[in-house]
Chain A
Amino acid sequence: MFEYLKEIWPTLWPTLAAIGVILAFVPFLGLYMTFIERKLAAYVQDRLGPNRVGPFGLFHAIADAIKLFLKEQTIPAHVYKLLYFIAPTFSLMTAMFALVVMPFGPVPTEYSSGFRYIVAPGIDIGILMMIAISSLSAYGIILGGWASNNKYSLYGAIRSCAQFISYEIPLGLSIIGIIAAAGSLNIEQIVAAQGGPFWNWNMFWQPVGLLVFFTSALAETNRLPFDLPECEQELVGGFHTEYGGIKFVLFFLAEYTHVITVSFLTSLLFFGGWHFPGLTGPVDSSLGGMLLRTFVLVFKVGMVVSFIMLLRWALPRFRFDQLMGLAWKGLIPLGLVNLLCVAVVLTFDLPKHLLSFTAIFIFVGSLISARQLQFTINRPRSAGRPSIAQTTSEVTI
């Protein structure tokens, strides 16, 4: 036994270290993301945000955690006890499990010994496994909603189920374009394929893919424009209505872990991972290069996380029929068209930046029409603002 352990130790310890890093940092990050989110919300709403505990209010997150951990564990009398306890742990477990194949720093494409920035390197079904595992997180929510034995919780769970099933499809479609271009399901290979000048990043030649991927990934995280499973105004608390204290923390942490996962995936698949102008070649193993690349990746992830948080305070929630319509009538056709375009470009060996014109069309077009929209909204009423009642008809009662 001991001999065997000694034999596998050189491959065992980097994995254990990577698991340790993830287990240590993800809850910590989740904790501090609540703080960052509160601060960001405050700035968007012209407030100051939490600033009482510690310098700049930095210890608010810790105080929150202590409060939630020390709360009394109340178990409502009407819940299914076993499922009620399993649901939050299952939710967090699946969310963390998806991080197994996620590089959180530069990972060279060929296997090397020593510490690696990934738990399981060189898995050839990496991205597929990640999608599979993260769709399991619907079970955590459904279990929670069912076990709560409460109609609001169940509504939330049913909604989340429908939402997950619908948005899995455009998510997969948008990733297929990337996989086809890189020729591999391995995330390290996909990142390596984006090396070279920065316009090789997938976002510059598959902008439609980015749009579809980011929208559906946001829907998978249950964040605000798509947070119908837990919308406060309709469903009290949604699937976590009956949960409090540490069990609520687990659900909450799972949501933030999903946000981290989605941000990492977006950065790795579309924003070139650890590549940056000046940092393009294959990964060298010098400490400085590693740290610099890790910083680049984490910076990109931070930008995506901030954008996700900003979206929460910028956009109203979708109605449920709009949500379903967006997935089935908007994103799935868009994803298919994108896949077709990528396939044509790859098959006939056309220059792939032909597709960049769609980027110009989407981003510049929406910028211009947003400007137009602002003018329409801000136009004073006397200047003939179109009224809500465009047609009037008279009815005799």
Chain B
Amino acid sequence: MTTTKKTKTVKWGDEPKLGWVEAMYLPAIVSGVATALKHAFSGKTTTRQYPEVEPTIPPNYRGVHRLNRDEAGRVKCVACYMCQTACPANCIEIIAAPAPKDDPKWKDRDKYPETFTIDELRCIYCGMCEEACPVDAIELTSIYDLTGLTRQEMIYDKEKLLSVYDQTVNSGNDPIRTNRGALGPASLEAPTAKQGPPPPGQGRHG
């Protein structure tokens, strides 16, 4: 088999030659000790005293979930199963129920989630659920210190997720993805096939 002759240049590097002064090790030791002493007496520390001083979490951090409420204080979720379908870790479980038609408060809604559970231990905090949600009902907050003593208490149900909303909505550190107050574009005027797609810039994804 003949191959085209290929030339490669390899650069050989040699260790720099040590003079006799450097070979005594002493100058290097002195300069090393000087560096160590300089740092020891500089008085600067980079340590953050964690439980007392909490870090500032950026608003695009993906922490514990919350279920948003709408203006009437109801759960904003419309039980469309989009998040449950999108979830790669299968940690969301929704059971939908028809909205109580007799109640005038629920007149504008067809469905609502009867139960909404998220297994926080199974979740990988990828944010696909909030991306899938058409009404911005589920969001990831910047709560990062999630702890629990049992697996059972790490399975968050609807009430707990709503309480996370109550706890974080006024903390001033809302997720930057949030659409506080307004429902998502899908819930406004459902664009049908007849009407065609929404004009550019108005749809959820531009």
Q: Name B39's contact: one of A44, A48, A315, A377 (CB within 8 Å).
A: A44
**Contact residues, A40-59 vs B (CB, 8 A):** 40, 43-48
Give CA–CA (A46, B25) in the complex, Å: 26
Which chain B residues border A286 with CB–CB below 8 Å? none
Contact B10 A44 (CB under 8 A): no
B58 within 8 A of A: no
Give CA–CA (A326, B6) in the complex, Å: 46
Contact A389 B11 (CB under 8 A): yes
Q: Name A313's contact: one of B12, B24, B29, B36 (CB within 8 Å).
A: B36
Q: Name A373's contact: one of B14, B27, B33, B45 (CB within 8 Å).
A: B27
B107 within 8 A of A: no
Give CA–CA (A128, B38) in the complex, Å: 39
Which chain B residues border A389 with CB–CB below 8 Å? 11-14
Which chain A residues border B45 with CB–CB below 8 Å? 46-48
Contact B40 A44 (CB under 8 A): yes
Give CA–CA (A386, B19) in the complex, Å: 14
In the complex, how many residues of chain A place their beta carbon closer than 8 angstroms to a beta carbon of chain B? 35
A72 within 8 A of B: no
Which chain A residues border B47 with CB–CB below 8 Å? 47-48
Contact A370 B36 (CB under 8 A): no
Contact A40 B11 (CB under 8 A): no
- How many A-B contacts at CB < 8 Å in the complex? 95
Which chain B residues border A372 with CB–CB below 8 Å? 27
Contact B16 A390 (CB under 8 A): yes
B192 within 8 A of A: no
Interface range on chain B (Cβ under 8 Å from partner): 35 or more
Contact A397 B7 (CB under 8 A): yes
A396 within 8 A of B: yes
Contact B27 A370 (CB under 8 A): yes
Contact A395 B9 (CB under 8 A): yes
A310 within 8 A of B: yes
**Contact residues, A306-363 vs B (CB, 8 A):** 310-311, 313-315, 326, 362
A interface vs B, CB < 8 Å? Answer: 40, 43-48, 310-311, 313-315, 326, 362, 365-367, 369-374, 377, 386, 388-397
Given contacts A386-B16, A390-B13, A395-B8, 10 further A-B contacts (CB under 8 A): A46-B44, A47-B46, A362-B26, A365-B21, A365-B26, A369-B26, A370-B28, A370-B34, A377-B31, A392-B11
B interface vs A, CB < 8 Å? Answer: 6-16, 21-22, 24-37, 39-42, 44-47, 49
Q: 7 smallest A-B Cβ distances: which pairs?
A: A389-B13, A366-B26, A370-B30, A314-B36, A369-B27, A314-B32, A370-B31
- 26 pairs, A vs B, C-beta closer than 8 Å: A40-B40, A44-B36, A47-B45, A47-B46, A47-B47, A310-B33, A310-B40, A311-B29, A313-B36, A315-B29, A366-B29, A370-B28, A370-B30, A370-B31, A370-B34, A371-B31, A377-B31, A386-B16, A388-B16, A389-B13, A390-B14, A390-B16, A394-B9, A395-B8, A395-B10, A397-B8
